[in-house]
Structure 1
Amino acid sequence: MTYYENMKKALQESGDMEIGSFAADNIAAVAAEMERIRAMEIDRIPMRIFPTLASGEDLTLAATNFGVERKEATAAMVGLLIEGEAGTRITNEVCACCGEIVFRIQEEGIILEEGSIILPAKAEETGKMGNIAAESITEFAASYAGLERVTNPLAAFGGSDRENDEELRLRVIQRWQNPGTGGSKGDYLSWALSIPGVMRARVFNPSAGNVSVYIIGEGDMEVLAEETAAFIEERRPIGANVSVQPAEKVIINVSAKVQLKEGFAQENIRQEIIGRLDAFFAEQAFLTDTVSYTRIAEQLFAEGVADVVSYTLNGTAASVSLLQNQYAALGTVEISV
């Protein structure tokens, strides 16, 4: 029922219900105002303005109040080795593809006398799907006069998806917990995490005036470190000596013997465990300096595992310690029954 219907129902005198009566006119005006207020969704304001509760574009706007911008998707870059007739001009109309992923030439060039040239190309669509492996590009998107073959000697890099709500919310919380104060640790952390492709960062002050920033990300980490360093260079306090480096990856090989429940296949269980371990390592990166032996056991209890008989991390039944500039990443996974 509407506000007007509820209020009219509450009137005691039947005469007060007549259209045009003093009471009817008054409750009509009050009900209309109450409906207008309800349409404003005032009761949902906390769900829209607080980063811990907001989602979607509401979260994007809420994050800006903390000086945090949602990272937009970026397109992958790749170097294309193009072979063909010497002297052939290559324009930015030339495209090559890997399946449905199309890369467009970014700089014009002319095939050299030896019959080839390497030119930069950019994915037509944004997203980390463009970070294809080396030699994945094998054909042009169309037929081009004078051009014969194309490939990518190195993997594509720099493609990233639009930052999702959970990633953005985490950065807002980190910003709130580590407020910037003119070149503080919180500033460097926020600056590093604002770069598309940077997933985690750590900041240290090894000595007075020196700042070390270590990053974890996707794609070409050397290029990502250079982009991060350039961004920080424009914002750092005068006199601060800042170095930005990719964090060192420590591979963790997991070997386990498990008992399976009836009806579950060993390989399916292995794939399930790999997914759980990948997610665990991604979540724990830079949050701890130890790969907990007991926490790994939790990940081994995938659906279909009745019991974990024994397991090792890099060949030992113990936790793995990490340095401050290191993070753990999953290596091989061997599951026996």
Structure 2
Amino acid sequence: MLAFNNTAFNWPTFFFIGIPGLEAAHIWISIPFSILYLIALVGNALLLILVRAEQSLHEPQFYFLAMLALTDLGLSLSTMPSVLAIFWFDVRDIGLDACLTQMFFIHTLSSVESGVLVAMAFDRLVAICAPLNYTKILTHYTVACLSGAALVRGATLLAPLPFFLRTFPFCGANILSHSYCYYPDMLNLACGDVTFSSAYGLVFVLCTFAVDAVFIIASYMKILDTIMKLETQDRNWRSLHTCACHLCTVLVFYLPLISLAVLHRYTQDTSPILYTTMSNAYLLMTPLLNPLVYSLKSRQIQAALRKRFWVQRVIAGE
């Protein structure tokens, strides 16, 4: 199918590729995708409800967790319409404005999530390296400032990208490689000199994900140095256990991100199925696994879940 030229009266239409070669099985593939999205939405919504309802979770680390869950909800809701529309109804086309809006939210929320992971690393750093000053340093005001800074940074740095793309004509078939609108993917379809826009995208990545990764690594180097100086091995284990959830979350977020970036930049003949799998894993696995990680690893979350479940059983019994 051919797209419209980008003129004053006609905006281009983009087309999602789905999973090449498996079009006949899309309705069956939609079943696990629907289940995974449902689990992600319910899991993150449950975390938000627990943090809000349980007084024992009214601590900085769980406020950051609520921010993380809210971001994951946004990511799931940003990609779910286009992904499920492909599998359920074979709807593959999307207009420029809708595509730019989806792209803005996906990249902004990814940046916010990365910033929240840095804030959570700072929380663990203070808790282990300066426990006596924890409540003085991580006040409600500090938590609000760190969360707000992550949101403002993401939205501010991402704001120019849709305007950059609107200045280019799109003169090809405009077939996207993912099941959602992704900036490097759209930029590859633009006709004209994209050097500046490509460079800005690289600057955005360096100013967000690369800088955040450096801060997280530096925080854990300091945490490990502090733990190694503790007197007993038992205290070492207990200190590291408080970081386990955050470390798992960092790996779940950064590994698909790095893998997708490598596929985009350095591989040209990647299998379409592998490419599609990685692109969906990038934005689906994080919202899916984060609630599971904290439900399985965090004793406070487990206690809150048991309390809520017990209360519900009591109410039902009455």
TM bucket normalised to smaller? under 0.3
Name the TM-score, length of structure 1 as normaliser: 0.20
Looking at both structures, which has the greater relative contact order when contacts are Cα pairs under 8 Å and sequence separation is at least 6?
2
Higher helix share: 2
Name the TM-score, length of structure 2 as normaliser: 0.21
Q: Work out which of the two has the higher radius of gyration on C-alpha atoms and give 1 or 2.
A: 1
